[in-house]
Structure 1
Amino acid sequence: MSTSTLFSQELWQVRQVTNQAQNHAMDNNQNFSPDDAWIVYDTRPNEGGIGENAIIEKVNVANGKTEVIYKTKNADKHGPGVGAVSYHPKKNEVVFIHGLPPTSQENPYAMHRRLGKIVNESTKKAYWMDSRDIDAPFTAGALRGGTHRHQWSGDGDWLGYTYNDALMYELEEKTGDTYNLRTVGVSARNIKSPKISASTGENFQGEWYSVLVVKVVPNPRPGSGEISKAYSDWWVGEKGYQKPNGSWQRARAFLGDLVTSKGENLTEVFLVDVPEDISVEGDEGPLAGTSTTMPMPPAGATVRRLTFTEGNKYPGVTTEFRHWVTSSMDGAFLSYLAKDNEGIDQVFVIPVNGGTPKQVSFHTSPVQSTVRWHPKKREFAYVCNNQVYVNRVDAAMNPGKSIAVSEVFETAPFAINYSNDGNKIAFNKDVEGRVQIFVAERP
């Protein structure tokens, strides 16, 4: 197959939206407001600097005007820290990471010391999304640590995130054994969070009911499919995926680390079904956890492994740089990055109901970003060769022609995301040492 058959160029209009001498980090979130008039971001000083950041802002896509949505009080180098902000799909409401206040040198911003905060721009109300309770007896519906990179469901009534547990962090520090494992959780708006005891300044009352949905273990048995780390998670579809029997199932896809039957570490693609009622305790143990165990998943949170790549020339999912498994908006397909037979990172797609993955990009240099899907059709965007590309797949996962919609930049675009109408793609790019926001508009 010739190169001309695989690729073409159809340049969209690209313009820089921000110019201020600060960073404007979108962090692979849902950054467009519901009407696509604004893009939301944080102003962290560097990629890992959420703990030092005090401000959540938005920029008007048309005129570049910026507005502060939220600013923390008493911010310093130890925190509290805010970042990784995301817009509700239908309301002028944002969610973001917020470190626990107050902070100090002894208790700074950390993975296990953060919550989700929601700000309603219409009512100006700001509140904690998830509850935090680190005092025994622990509380079902509350968590004990740090929720991170919160993602709205298609209807805006759920949030998914990664999680680290404060009690497990402390137990690992005390014993030297492995307890501090990352996993995946969800919160439901329509299930009221339980009342939390405020016996310490480390407990916080949230409004949504929160649980973990994936059990992780420190030492997976070889070949068992047990998971030691669950991360890079994403909602499946706008309303879940359709099962073979025609019913719809809410679910979250994620990357999971396991150990093969040969004793080798490997990262694969998984999916967990999320039950509508997450308040029912499952067979693994209490939703609230114990002083020596993580909170356990609710009944019906069924995990399914989708990729089995041990026999590939280059097994596993790409882990050389951070990327997320993502879903087409109809819930039919998941996308991820893996190496082809030449050892080059490419886009692969797999059916959510199970099947054989299919390679859908064929570049001679590695794909450089998470794949993002169009909000209404099976079109997806990604970055390769410092350019933004779009392509499509049909019902059989056959790809079309990859189209370069931007020029080749000096530095690679990152954190790409579609507008809600699908006619724009926003992305971050470094400009003279600052992270700026650009928008590519479809002709």
Structure 2
Amino acid sequence: MNIQIFFQNQQPFQDLLNLGKVSALFISLVMYSCDNSTYLAEKQLTNDLSYNHDLDNNDNFSPDNQWLVYDTRTEEGGIAASAKIEKVNVETGEKKVLYALPNNAEWGPGAGAVSYSPVDNAVVFIHGLMSVTKDNPYQQWRRTGVIINDSAPNVPIFMDARDITPPYTKGALRGGTHRHEWSGDGQWIGYTYNDAVLKALEDKTGEKHNLRTIGVSKRNNPVALEKDAQGDNVSGEWFSALVVRVTPNPKAGSDEISHAAGDSWVGTKGYLKSDGTPQIARAFIGKVKDKDGKGVDEVFIVDIPNDITIPGDFGPLEGTDTTFPMPPKGTVQRRLTFTANTPHAGCTGIVRSSPDGSLLAFLAKDEKGIQQIFTISPNGGVPTQLTFHDKDVAGSVRWHPNGKQLCYVWNGSIVLCKMGNDAFEKRFQVLTAPTNLSPSNLVWSHDGVTLAFNRLLSNGEAEKSKQIFIIKPQIAE
């Protein structure tokens, strides 16, 4: 059977699914029985179509590359309705539950968006506050990060401390952390953040204060807090600080930003500055205002000092009733792209760094208005266009661990693109057959042998769930 013909003719396939005549196992077998060598065989790891197995565009492989971790969120309820963190064995398909909330409701607490440490058998994920109720549910500013060790399932370690009772506490935050990512050495965790104190101020004044920004936590420096009556304050085992400054009303034409997200660590060990010194940093998308006052997303980087316990020049680490917690001394925030005055302004996606930290990949429109992958040095300069497709690159950009290839989703397929100076048609390879429901959430194993991703499959009742698949591309060095 030709897999390209099979998947491009979607309606008969979908009709069979809706009749319940095609099982997940059959889909997997079809993929393995295809004789078209153009596309790679796909192995389906999860088969329970009653719930999602969401990789969430995170770092999901265990340090030994044998397990993939995921959450079980619903499409409608999101993380608040997700009650479990599970993992699946890449070879055998065996599943294990790492964490389960026994009395989870549609309003929370919820658990999701999980990532494996690259060096320890431990995962980190979003956890809603245990004090949630129907009237005071899971929210962006009412959550924290929880770590679970593989050896101790269901024993939560609260990573970032949370203190919304003045006077606030240095090393604690006042809201909710999200999309946690371990550094290459496992000593740091980065994330996006929303502030509960400023959300309350926004509700009180009607003025914009609930802005998304970026923080980091460093291990081995616990922050202890007294329990409050509502249970909204949480002690944390790591020391936390915000590292990116945001403002509700950036000055037009300036480098001030009102929103920061799409962030990731730069390199597994940081990057080399122009003077040759190593620097840990996070790259991200920040929203500036162009000269006409219109919002534009640009690529930024923030250099992070090794010691985040020393206050900087902009205010206290713990914040005030009317200001965010401020970045530590030595934090340097820089703008890298300047697309605001071009015909196709803006950058998007998660900014992804090459393993050696020398290049940052992001999505932006080319001169034809087509969304492509570009790269830029963490030290700045002119971006380089990497892809030259005739249709938009959809996203899920991930570097191969060798730093010489990137994979991404384009035209319903997973595509691999080599770095280098060869013509583009010689550098890119379509790995999977195009499908109407595109693959998503790509993630490489640490050894670069396996690429995992999500596909949406029907359960036969017009509902779909995310299932995990893997492929094993042959990577030329």
**Is 1:138 equivalent to 2:201 in the alignment?**
no
Count of residue pairs brought into register by the alignment: 429
Q: Which residue of 1 aligns with 2:448?
A: 422
Q: Which residue of 1 aligns with 2:412?
A: 386
1:122 Cα shift?
Answer: 2.2
Counterpart code for 1:282: G
- 1:238-387 residue pairs with structure 2 within 5 A? 238-318=268-348, 323-387=349-413
User: Would the aligned equivalents of 2:290 and 2:341 in 1 still touch at CA under 8 Å?
Assistant: no
Q: Which residue of 1 aligns with 2:97?
A: 68
Judged with a 3 Å threshold, the aligned counterparts in structure 2 of structure 1 residues 439 and 49 are, in CA distance, closer, same or farther, namely same
Structure 1 portions without partners, runs of 5+: 1-8
Q: 1:13 aligns with which of 23, 41, 46?
A: 41
User: Would the aligned equivalents of 1:333 and 1:349 in 2 still touch at CA under 8 Å?
Assistant: yes
- Mapped to 2, the partners of 1:199 and 1:23 lie a distance apart of 35
- Mapped to 2, the partners of 1:73 and 1:292 lie a distance apart of 37
Q: Which residue of 1 aligns with 2:19?
A: none
Which range moves more in the overlay, 247-256 or 199-208? 199-208
Give the 3-state SS of the residue equivalent to 1:325 in structure 2: strand
Judged with a 3 Å threshold, the aligned counterparts in structure 2 of structure 1 residues 235 and 353 are, in CA distance, closer, same or farther, namely same
1:264 Cα shift?
Answer: 1.9
- Mapped to 1, the partners of 2:374 and 2:38 lie a distance apart of 23
User: Would the aligned equivalents of 1:349 and 1:397 in 2 still touch at CA under 8 Å?
Assistant: no
Q: Which residue of 2 aligns with 1:23?
A: 52
1:205 Cα shift?
Answer: 0.7
User: Would the aligned equivalents of 1:336 and 1:370 in 2 still touch at CA under 8 Å?
Assistant: no
1:344 Cα shift?
Answer: 1.3
User: Would the aligned equivalents of 1:389 and 1:402 in 2 still touch at CA under 8 Å?
Assistant: yes
**Is 1:95 equivalent to 2:124 in the alignment?**
yes
Identical residues among aligned pairs (%): 49
Q: 1:406 aligns with which of 419, 426, 432?
A: 432
Q: Which has the higher helix share?
A: 2
- Mapped to 1, the partners of 2:47 and 2:400 lie a distance apart of 27
Q: Which residue of 2 aligns with 1:196?
A: 225
**Is 1:40 equivalent to 2:69 in the alignment?**
yes
- Mapped to 1, the partners of 2:423 and 2:279 lie a distance apart of 25
User: Would the aligned equivalents of 2:419 and 2:427 in 1 still touch at CA under 8 Å?
Assistant: no
- Mapped to 2, the partners of 1:32 and 1:77 lie a distance apart of 28
Deviations 1:192-216 (A, max 9, x none): 1332122331100110000000010
1:49 Cα shift?
Answer: 0.8
1:398 Cα shift?
Answer: 8.9
- Mapped to 1, the partners of 2:331 and 2:388 lie a distance apart of 36
- Mapped to 2, the partners of 1:401 and 1:12 lie a distance apart of 17
- Mapped to 1, the partners of 2:177 and 2:62 lie a distance apart of 22
User: Would the aligned equivalents of 1:358 and 1:397 in 2 still touch at CA under 8 Å?
Assistant: no
Report runs of 4+ in structure 1 exceeding 4 Å deviation. 396-400
**Is 1:187 equivalent to 2:217 in the alignment?**
yes
Q: 2:467 aligns with which of 415, 436, 440?
A: 436
1:362 Cα shift?
Answer: 1.1
User: Would the aligned equivalents of 1:129 and 1:208 in 2 still touch at CA under 8 Å?
Assistant: yes
1:352 Cα shift?
Answer: 1.3
1:12 Cα shift?
Answer: 2.9
1:239 Cα shift?
Answer: 0.5
Q: What is the TM-score with the length of structure 1 in the denominator? A: 0.94
User: Would the aligned equivalents of 1:142 and 1:193 in 2 still touch at CA under 8 Å?
Assistant: no
Judged with a 3 Å threshold, the aligned counterparts in structure 2 of structure 1 residues 224 and 178 are, in CA distance, closer, same or farther, namely same
User: Would the aligned equivalents of 1:325 and 1:370 in 2 still touch at CA under 8 Å?
Assistant: no
Which range moves more in the overlay, 279-288 or 341-350? 341-350
Structure 2 portions without partners, runs of 5+: 1-36, 459-463
1:106 Cα shift?
Answer: 1.5
- Mapped to 1, the partners of 2:246 and 2:260 lie a distance apart of 7
Deviations 1:93-134 (A, max 9, x none): 000000000311121110000000000112444210000011
Which range moves more in the overlay, 100-109 or 228-237? 100-109
Give the superposed CA RMSD: 1.5
1:10 Cα shift?
Answer: 5.3
User: Would the aligned equivalents of 1:282 and 1:300 in 2 still touch at CA under 8 Å?
Assistant: yes
Deviations 1:110-161 (A, max 9, x none): 0000000000112444210000011111001000010001000000110000
- Mapped to 2, the partners of 1:371 and 1:222 lie a distance apart of 31
User: Would the aligned equivalents of 1:326 and 1:372 in 2 still touch at CA under 8 Å?
Assistant: yes
**Is 1:84 equivalent to 2:113 in the alignment?**
yes
Give the 3-state SS of the residue equivalent to 1:13 in structure 2: coil
Q: 1:121 aligns with which of 150, 154, 163?
A: 150
Deviations 1:352-397 (A, max 9, x none): 1111111111111111113101123221110001111111224x89
Give the 3-state SS of the residue equivalent to 1:407 in structure 2: coil
Judged with a 3 Å threshold, the aligned counterparts in structure 2 of structure 1 residues 406 and 349 are, in CA distance, closer, same or farther, namely same
Larger-gyration structure (1/2): 2
Deviations 1:378-425 (A, max 9, x none): 21110001111111224x899661111111123111110111111111
User: Would the aligned equivalents of 2:131 and 2:232 in 1 still touch at CA under 8 Å?
Assistant: no
Counterpart code for 2:390: T
